[in-house]
Amino acid sequence: MARIELCNLEKSFGAVKAVKNLSFTIEDGEFVVFVGPSGCGKTTTLRMIAGFEDPSAGEIRIDGRVVNDLEPRDRGLGMVFQSHALFPHKNVAQNIEFGLRMKSVPQADRVKRVREVADMVRISHLLEKMPNQCSGGEAQRVALARTLVTNPSTFLLDEPLSSLDAKLRRELRAECDRLHQTLKRTFIYVTHDQEEAMTLADRIVVMRSGEIVQVGSPMEIYSNPANYFVADFFGSPSMNLVAGEVVQNGTSTRFRSSWFDFALPERFKAATPGTATLGIRPEHVQVHVGTKGDIELPVRLVEPLGKDTLLYFDASNDRAFVAVTEGLGMADIKVGERVALSLDQHLTHLFDTEGRRVNTA
Amino acid sequence: MAVAALSAAEAPPQASPRAISRQRAIRRFKLSLLAPLIALFAFLLVPVLLLQLYFSFHQWTVYLSSWWDADYVGIDLFKEVLTDPRFGWATLRSLAFATSSTLGCFVFGFMLAYLMKRPFRGQAIYYIIFILPMLTVPVVVAYTAEMMLYQSGPINDVITRLSGFEFKPSWLSNPNIALMTVSLLEIWNWTPFSFIIMLAGLSAIPKEPVEAAEILGASKWRIFWEVELPLLRPVILLALVLRFLEAMAEFPKTWALFQGGPGSATETLPVYIFMTTWQYFQISKGAAMSYIVMLMMVVIVLLAIQLLRREKRSLDKMYEQSDEPIAGA
């Protein structure tokens, strides 16, 4: 059982404020992912929860009890590090057993627990090996086992997968998910990878320059990004963001850029005219060959991915405009060919000059 | 056979001509860096070593005019040295002195380094204070010690006042503790050396395993014993070996304070060699002794290098992270 409350948490390193007035509650059994670009304060927040960093201000409560002055070992947490942090001079079994030995668990129980946990993360065949004889993925499994064995109330995971290759990352991501399902413990996971955040989290906390930008379920974050930053950060390929201006033209509200003129749907009727950014996810752009759509653009690049095909268009913007079409039907389009595009009216976003999302009526 | 297999295993399976010429260029570059040292060795050390070798096989004293007129005596001088009980005692004293002072330096240096591990306010000042003894000239250490350590001198006085007990050891005239006095001075003088090495070693320990141990419930003591100390082993060995070799050659403090006395209580190898050569003017015997001591030291150094290499290899192995599991490794 662990409900973790962060109250007005601050952390400064000299003149640099790494975490600014952060308040957030992590419910018991929840899988929360802190995500953001490097330097956004997510790891610092995790290290404060773990007890490796003292907050400059604010409180951390675990199940209602303030733990600011508690040593890391007295907080009942488990942590997995980015660099797996195994003890290089102990073999896998001794590494896993370490936490139990520190708690003076009798030898027979230790052996039993180590076996159980090793089975759980499928590393029973590695028990006699040294850490340097394990591959990156195996080492991270050992690190997980070493944490699991002490049965912590909360798992803190600091970018545990970022040093692994793509395939292993997916595999271990599934492993983390499975562990969370079976153990029903609180998981706090830090990553800069939006995909990990989307797939693992019950709730995502998006951070930027020491502050929380948005909190929500993966779907909320994906379909209702609070601002330009979140819109741009989540999704692969990322959201098309077109710089231009909102123009009130008699009865209709239109969005104009140098290459683009689009009638905004009813809900943006109240938008203030002036500079703005229009956002639309690549999968919400429909591609029609021949028929007329909202805009017509020449194709710059075709990327057939098998399940989908990505089309990149030349826009006068510094970034390409991307559309996703299902299957390989569009894979034969020639580069330079002009194609008609229509945007899904309900799924467009508008951001003001500050990057905030323009609320719809 | 074993050598052939080893070199075959070490050579890359298919060395292209380019790779070979690259390796040669690297070797040439390394040699060019070593060249000044090799030149210095060839022009300064080698003539001295050869001259010593000549002396150790020829009976010559300063009373003979030209040294090249000395008679060849074969290995007689070596026999004489090796059967000389005074030489044996000097060797034992040197070993005792080097061992005790090395351990002392290490224990205090490590303790100081551990205290200085984490940054704190005013750390630089402590750092300078801890380094100072090493920057003091050994002869100055000896004369200062002489002024402080006489029987009713300030050190005994302070200890007596603080403890309330009559504390009056005769540091400088009791033959039973004279060698210990020098050893304590050596510890005072050279603890900074061990301190610097251990501090460097401590700050090179990766912080993640230590933090992992912390959150797994290990106390500070257990972390030290089970995580930090094993990771420090190679550094500890280096600190011990370097200090031991230096201590074996300690001369200035011993000589300035005791000249080998009282009696022969502080007659260590360097002192005995010096006395033989420059007080008894047995230049040839001194040369033979120097050679024997040098050979002893070479053996110790070779053993030490062997040990250090093994430690370094095991450390490298510990940290290297393979992407593929090494089969049967």
Task: Give the domains, in start order, of chain A with CATH numbers.
Answer: 4-232 (3.40.50.300), 238-351 (2.40.50.140)
Task: Give the domains, in start order, of chain B with CATH numbers.
Answer: 75-313 (1.10.3720.10)
**% pLDDT > 90, chain A:** 35
Interval B183-209 mean pLDDT: 92
Which of B236, B321, B322 to probe the A interface (max A CBs under 10 A)? B321
Q: Which residues of A touch B211 (CB under 8 A)?
A: 50, 52, 72, 79, 81, 85
Contact: B215, A89; criterion CB under 8 Å: no
In this complex, the residue of A73, A135, A146 whose CB is nearest that of residue B218 is A73
Taking CA A123 as the corner, what is the angle to CA A120 and CA A124, rounded to the nearest 5 degrees? 90
In 10 A of CB A70, how many CB atoms?
Answer: 14
Q: Is the pLDDT of residue A83 over 80?
A: yes
Confidence of residue B5 (pLDDT cuts 50, 70, 90): very low
Higher per-residue pLDDT: A294 or B280: B280
Confidence of residue B104 (pLDDT cuts 50, 70, 90): very high
End-to-end Cα distance, chain A:
41
Chain B: residue whose CA lies nearest to A147: B216
Chain A residues whose C-beta sits inside 8 Å of any chain B C-beta: 50-52, 71-73, 75, 77-79, 81, 83-89, 98-99, 102-103, 129-136, 138-139, 143, 146-147, 150
Interval B146-170 mean pLDDT: 85
Please provide the average confidence, as pLDDT, over all residues in chain A: 87
Residue A299, both tokens: 């194709």
Interval B132-159 mean pLDDT: 89
This prediction's pTM? 0.78
Asked if B213 is an interface residue toward chain A (Cβ–Cβ < 8 A), one would say yes
Tens digit of each residue's pLDDT (9 = 90 or more) over A298-312? 888 888 888 888 888
Contact: A81, B212; criterion CB under 8 Å: yes
What stretch of H or E contains A18? strand A16-26
Q: What is the pLDDT of residue B326?
A: 39
What is the identity of the amino acid at A4?
I
Nearest of A25, A22, A18, A19 to residue A8 by alpha carbon: A22
Nearest of A175, A44, A49, A45 to residue A117 by alpha carbon: A175
Q: What is the pLDDT of residue B204?
A: 87
Nearest of B256, B238, B244 to residue B305 by alpha carbon: B238
Q: Is the pLDDT of residue B4 over 50?
A: no
Tens digit of each residue's pLDDT (9 = 90 or more) over A161-212? 887 888 888 888 888 899 899 988 999 999 998 888 999 999 999 999 999 9
Interval B79-105 mean pLDDT: 94
Interval A88-103 mean pLDDT: 91
Question: What DSSP assignment string belongs to A44-102?
Answer: HHHHHHHTSS--SEEEEEETTEE-TTS-GGGTTEEEE-TT----TTS-HHHHHHHHHHH
Interval A272-281 mean pLDDT: 87
Contact: A150, B317; criterion CB under 8 Å: no
**% pLDDT > 90, chain B:** 44
Cα distances from B15 to residues B2, B4, B7, B29, B30, in angstroms, run: 21, 17, 13, 20, 20
Which of the residue ranges A322-336, B12-26, B272-286 has the most confident prediction, judged by mean pLDDT? B272-286
Strand partners, A154: A77, A186
Interval A80-109 mean pLDDT: 90
Contact: A72, B212; criterion CB under 8 Å: no
Q: Is the pLDDT of residue B329 over 70?
A: no
CA A317 to chain centre: 27
Contact: B216, A146; criterion CB under 8 Å: yes
Helix, strand, coil share of chain B (percent; to 5):
75, 0, 25
Interval B5-14 mean pLDDT: 50
In this complex, the residue of A72, A103, A131 whose CB is nearest that of residue B214 is A72
Higher per-residue pLDDT: A360 or B186: B186
Asked if B321 is an interface residue toward chain A (Cβ–Cβ < 8 A), one would say yes
Q: Is the pLDDT of residue B324 over 50?
A: no
Asked if B118 is an interface residue toward chain A (Cβ–Cβ < 8 A), one would say no
Interval B67-86 mean pLDDT: 86
Q: Is the pLDDT of residue A360 over 90?
A: no
Chain B: residue whose CA lies nearest to A50: B215
Q: Is the pLDDT of residue B185 over 60?
A: yes
Contact: A51, B215; criterion CB under 8 Å: yes
Asked if residues A222 and A235 have their Cβ atoms less than 8 Å apart, the reply is yes
State how far the Cα of A88 lies from the Cα of A94, in Å rounded to an integer: 10
Interval B112-140 mean pLDDT: 90
Q: Is the pLDDT of residue B322 over 80?
A: no
Rg (CA), chain B: 26
- The lowest-confidence range among A24-38, A139-153, A329-343, B17-31 is A329-343
Please provide the average confidence, as pLDDT, over all residues in chain B: 86
Chain B: residue whose CA lies nearest to A96: B216
Q: Is the pLDDT of residue B3 over 80?
A: no
Interval B121-127 mean pLDDT: 89
Q: Is the pLDDT of residue A155 over 90?
A: yes
Contact: A51, B227; criterion CB under 8 Å: no
Tens digit of each residue's pLDDT (9 = 90 or more) over B28-48? 999 999 999 999 888 988 998
Cα distances from A106 to residues A100, A331, B158, in angstroms, run: 8, 64, 52
In this complex, the residue of A73, A133, A143 whose CB is nearest that of residue B214 is A73
Q: Is the pLDDT of residue A1 over 80?
A: no
Q: What is the pLDDT of residue B308?
A: 84
In this complex, the residue of B216, B320, B322 whose CB is nearest that of residue A98 is B216
| Residue in the block written with tokens 């002024």 | B147
Tens digit of each residue's pLDDT (9 = 90 or more) over A199-256? 999 999 999 999 999 999 999 999 889 989 999 999 888 888 888 888 887 778 888 8
ipTM of the complex: 0.83
Q: Is the pLDDT of residue A264 over 90?
A: no
Asked if residues A276 and A255 have their Cβ atoms less than 8 Å apart, the reply is yes
Tens digit of each residue's pLDDT (9 = 90 or more) over A3-23? 999 999 999 988 888 999 999
State how far the Cα of A62 lies from the Cα of A49, in Å rounded to an integer: 9
Question: What DSSP assignment string belongs to B208-219?
Answer: HHHHHHHHTT--
What is the identity of the amino acid at B301?
V
Confidence of residue A99 (pLDDT cuts 50, 70, 90): very high
In this complex, the residue of A87, A132, A146 whose CB is nearest that of residue B321 is A132
Asked if residues A50 and A156 have their Cβ atoms less than 8 Å apart, the reply is yes
Q: Using DSSP, state whether A356 is helix, strand or coil.
A: strand
Confidence of residue B181 (pLDDT cuts 50, 70, 90): very high
* Beta strands across the sheet bearing A338-343: A285-288, A338-343, A295-304, A308-313, A321-326
